[in-house]
Amino acid sequence: MRKLFLLPLLTFCLAAGVLHAQNKQPNIILILADDLGYGDVGFNGQKLIKTPNIDKLAKEGARFPQFYSGSTVCAPSRSALISGKHTGHTYIRGNKEMKPEGQFPLADSVVTVAEILKNAGYSTAAYGKWGLGPVDSEGDPAHQGFDLFYGYNCQALAHRYYPNHLWDNNRKVILEANQNLLHNKIYAPDLIQEKAVAFLEQQKKDEPFFLFLPYILPHAELLVPEDSLFQYYKGKFPEKAHIGKDYGPGALPGGYASQEFPHAAFAAMVARLDLYVGQVMNKLKEKGIDENTLVIFTSDNGPHLEGGADPEFFNSGGGFKGYKRDLYEGGIRVPFAARWPGVIRAGSTNHYTGAFWDFLPTFAELAGTTIPQGLDGLSFVNALSGKKKQKTHDFLYWEFHEQGGKQAVRQGKWKAILLNAISNPDGPVELYDLSKDPAETTNIADRYPAKAQELLKLMHQSHTPSAVFPFRK
């Protein structure tokens, strides 16, 4: 049985006072890069890759240097984003594959941000990678509040940039030119981007929309068309060829192809992502709807080490310790910028400390509708506008179910991390003072044992058991 709920609309004077004088619900665009590190964009210090459109978005809005992803891998990060709950409470807490295609489905009972916005009068669409349930399952985007979906349903198949099919809602779109992974003809991200821009072209000024763009760039494999972007970066960096699992007879859907120029390919992939952002922003202006559109740009987790990627070369972590699958800052602190003319002060830096579970209550408040009870997220509408004092989190919590289990808590300047959490849930924990040591170089748990134990207790309190994703033996 489908979930039934009513979220009554409020008057659009909106207590937060951030809507424009015409009291319109803002359009909302959430751009989610895949495995893009904190330091992979210019506004966070990237020197080797040019990201002019992403940097312009941040310059015309605000950058949030203290914002975190939902998790350190794909599916749980997206689950936290869409449900408003951290990984100790959200339904999907790990990457769990389903046959023949897809991941374990988000439950029918979960109220998602798309459902809330759809009920508030928004048209809703997602273009890119899903990973929260196979087609026609409970977790299908069509069953979780999205009117339209186009792209990869399965995140494992999204490892290939020239797949043999994509999904248009529940219709399988066969890409004949890529059949049997024998030919590299249709670059799927370009095709998905065309559909996303076409959606924007169809929008009207007086009808609000929520556009979710979970792009797959720059997730491995390191593969990009041989166009001007790739040619620009070829020869600029030292290269060591990566030998992978190539397209051709016997190729597996989830493999990563070889790449002769892995540094150039990665740079070109980030540049292509930047190009997509520019196309979205240009279409908003062309349609005359950018003034009433909140655009947020971020990434699902830290940089990967797969398929020939070299995050150390690019300083992808921005000086933070760790990568994807780590709960150190490099694995979960992500690039974040938000633009909304007339509401967000251009060129500003906002030090609100938030995470993906804040999106749902924030978007619900902006839509003028009721925020559900029982969430871990806070609305950061006041932080966006800067007009009123922003409520802050007591702490943020993450758990990761692979590599022996990991847990982490951030409380103010303090950060605690527990490794081998499945077999040794009582510690010891690592403790860091991020105000003095943001790179987490010096474990000071021995110096502050009371604080270490306090944060360990928060870890225990923040985890609720899951029959689907058990975390304890």
Same fold, 27-393 and 399-462: no
pLDDT digits (tens, 9 = 90+) for 324-347: 999 999 999 999 999 999 999 999
Residue ranges in the chain whose pLDDT is less than 70: 1-23, 473
What CATH number has the domain spanning 399-462? 3.30.1120.10
* Verdict on whether the full-model pTM lies above 0.85: yes
Determine whether 61 is exposed, middle or buried from the number of CB atoms within 10 Å of its CB (0-12, 13-18, 19+). Answer: buried
**pLDDT score, position 473:** 64
Helices and strands of the chain, counted as H and E runs: 11, 16
**pLDDT score, position 249:** 87
What span, in angstroms and rounded, lies between the C-alpha atoms of 361 and 355? Answer: 12
**pLDDT score, position 3:** 54
CB burial of 217-234 (b: ≥16 within 10 Å; e: otherwise) equals: bbbbbbbbeeeebbeebb
Q: What is the rounded end-to-end Cα distance, in angstroms, of the chain? A: 33
Residues contacting 39, CB < 8 A, separation 6+: 45, 46, 314, 315, 316, 317, 318, 319, 320
Name beta bridge partners: 152: 129
**pLDDT score, position 14:** 40
Domain positions in the chain are 27-393, 399-462
288: left (phi over 0), alpha (psi -120 to 50) or beta: left
Find, among 264, 275, 269, the residue nearest to 313 by Cα.
264
Contact 158, 152 (CB under 8 A): yes
Q: Which two tokens stand for residue 61?
A: 């809005």
Q: What residue type is assigned to position 154 of the chain?
A: C
Positive or negative torsion for Cα 5, 11, 17, 22:
positive
Determine whether 464 is exposed, middle or buried from the number of CB atoms within 10 Å of its CB (0-12, 13-18, 19+). Answer: exposed
What span, in angstroms and rounded, lies between the C-alpha atoms of 273 and 278? Answer: 9
Tell whether domain 27-393 is in CATH 3.40.720.10. Answer: yes
**pLDDT score, position 352:** 98
pLDDT digits (tens, 9 = 90+) for 171-203: 999 999 998 788 779 999 999 999 999 999 999
